[in-house]
Amino acid sequence: MKFGILTSGGDCAGLNAVIRSIGLYISENIKNAEIIGIPDGYGGLIRGEGFVLKENSYSDIIDRGGTILGTSRQAFKLMTIEENGTSRLEKMCNNYKKLGLDCLFTLGGAGTHKTAALLCAEGLNVIGIPKTIDNDIYGTDVTFGFQTAVEVATECIDRIKTTTASHGRIMLVEIMGNKAGWLTLHSGIAAGADCMLIPEIPFSLKAVKEFAKKRVEEKGCCIILVAEGALLSSEAKYKKKDRVFIRTERGESTVTLHLNEEISNYTKKETRCSVLGYMQRGGTPCAFDRVLSSRLGGYAAKLANEGRFGVTAAVSGNHITYNSVFDIAGKYKLVNPQGPIVKFAKSIGIYFGEE
Ligand code: F6P
C-alpha cells in the first residue's frame, strides 16, 4: 500500500510527532508499504509533488517543532474554480492517482478538513488528523498543538506579570485565536490574568476602561489578555469583511492597539502591549502533545489499515475515536459564553469585558 501524508494550514507543535507515529505504525504493522511525503500541504498535491519518506527521516523527530513536510494555506473557495480548464480539486485527484496513493493523511485544521471532505466526495481515501493551537476543530475535545501553545503563552504571561507589577502598569497581551478564545481562556486561567477578551464575547470599551482603572488602583497593576479575534460590542453588528475594512482604515488588524490607546488615555496610567504571535506556534511540543500526537498518528494509521476512510481522528474523553469528515467539515468548536469554563473563570473574578 502507498500512503501519502501532508500537513496543511498554520503549523503547530506536534506535527512531526504525528508523522513519526504514522510511519512507525505502518512499518510495524503493514507489509510492503511505502510512505510518500507531500511537501507544502495541498500546494504540493496540486502540483503533484511527493517524495518517499524513509524510516530514518521520521524516526527521530518526536521532539521537533514545525513540520518536516512544510505547509501552506490554500483557500478553500479556490479549490473548485477552474483555471485553464482544470480546478485545483481535479488536479489533486489526478495527482493522488499519479502518485499511486491508496490513502492520504491530512494533518490540519478546520480549513484542511473542509478540503479533505471535497477529496472524499470525489472518492479518494482520506483520513484527517486534527491540528491547531486554536483548539477550535468541531467534534474533538482537544487538538494537538494546543497544549504546547497554552504552556508557551502561560510562561510568557507569567514573565510579563512580574515586569507589569514592578512598574505598576496596565498590560495588554495579545494571544492567537481568530475565531476561538480557547488559548486565551486556558493560558489566562493558568497565569492568573485579570481580564480576558475573546471573540465569542464582544466587549464594551467603556466597561473595560473602567475595569482597568479600578483594578490598577486597587491592585497596583492589571493584566488584560486580548485574543486576536476579540471584538468591540460596537463592531459585533458588522460582517467580518466590513470589520476588516474598518480596522484596515485604522491601520490595525486586531483591536489590541486601539484598546491600548483608549485605556491609556482614560486611565492616565502607563499602558503597554505585548503580542505573543508565532512564539505560540513554534518550538518543541510539550510532553502532553507528544503523547497525543503519537496516539492520533498511530490511530489514523490503524484506521487506514482497516480500510476506514472519509474520517477525521478525534479525542473524546480519554479515548481516541473518529468522526465522519462530512459531519465536521465547515464547523467550528467555539467557547460557549454560558458554558462551564467561562462560568468558572467568572466565579474567581476574571472579567470578560461585558457591560
Ligand atoms: O490557526 C492558527 C493560527 O495561529 C491562528 O491563531 C492565527 O489567527 C493564524 O493561524 C495566523 O495565520 P498565519 O500563519 O497565516 O499568519
Q: For the chain, which residues make up each domain, given as ranges?
A: 2-144+285-328, 149-281
CATH value of 2-144+285-328 in 3.30.565.10, 3.40.640.10, 3.40.50.450, 3.30.450.40: 3.40.50.450
Instruction: Ligand 1 pocket test: pick from 73, 136, 281, 333 the residue with the most ligand atoms within 8 Å of its Cβ.
Output: 281
Q: DSSP letters along 30-76, please?
A: -TT-EEEE-TTTHHHHHHT--EE--HHHHTT-TT--S-TT------G
Q: Is the pLDDT of residue 251 over 90?
A: no
Give the pLDDT of residue 274.
98
Give the pLDDT of residue 249.
86
Protein residue with least CA distance to atom 5, ligand 1: 177
Instruction: Ligand 1 pocket test: pick from 67, 150, 178, 334 the residue with the most ligand atoms within 8 Å of its Cβ.
Output: 178
Protein residue with least CA distance to atom 8, ligand 1: 178
Q: How far apart are CA 227 and CA 180, in angstroms?
A: 8
Give the pLDDT of residue 278.
97
Protein residue with least CA distance to atom 3, ligand 1: 10
Q: Which atom of ligand 1 is nearest to the CA of 9?
A: 1
CA of 297 to the centre of ligand 1 (A): 23
Q: What percent of the chain has pLDDT over 90?
A: 94
CA of 135 to the centre of ligand 1 (A): 12
Q: Which atom of ligand 1 is nearest to the CA of 177?
A: 6
- Burial of residue 115 (CB within 10 Å: 0-12, 13-18, 19+) is buried
Protein residue with least CA distance to atom 1, ligand 1: 10
CA of 306 to the centre of ligand 1 (A): 34
Short-list 81, 167, 144, 75, CA closest to 296: 144
Mean pLDDT of the chain, nearest integer: 97
Q: Which atom of ligand 1 is nearest to the CA of 278?
A: 4
Active site residues: 134
Number of H-type helices and E-type strands within the chain: 13, 13
CA of 313 to the centre of ligand 1 (A): 22
Average confidence (pLDDT) over 289-315: 98
**What digits encode the pLDDT tens for the residues 103-142?**
999 999 999 999 999 999 999 999 999 999 999 999 999 9
**What digits encode the pLDDT tens for the residues 131-178?**
999 999 999 999 999 999 999 999 999 999 999 999 999 999 999 999
Q: Taking a C-beta distance cutoff of 8 angstroms, is the pair 24, 62 a contact?
A: no
Q: Is the pLDDT of residue 181 over 90?
A: yes
* Diameter of the chain measured on Cα atoms: 70
246 pLDDT band (50/70/90 cuts)? confident
Q: Is the pLDDT of residue 252 over 90?
A: no
Q: Which atom of ligand 1 is nearest to the CA of 133?
A: 2
Protein residue with least CA distance to atom 14, ligand 1: 10
Protein residue with least CA distance to atom 9, ligand 1: 10
Q: Is the pLDDT of residue 241 over 90?
A: no
Q: Taking a C-beta distance cutoff of 8 angstroms, is the pair 126, 28 a contact?
A: no
CA of 10 to the centre of ligand 1 (A): 6
Overall fold of domain 149-281 = Rossmann fold (3.40.50)
Within 6 A (CB) of ligand 1 lie: 10, 73, 109, 132-134, 176-178, 228, 281
Q: Which residue has the cell 527521516?
A: 57
- In terms of DSSP bridges, do strands 34-37 and 2-7 run parallel, antiparallel, or are they unpaired? parallel
Same fold, 2-144+285-328 and 149-281: yes
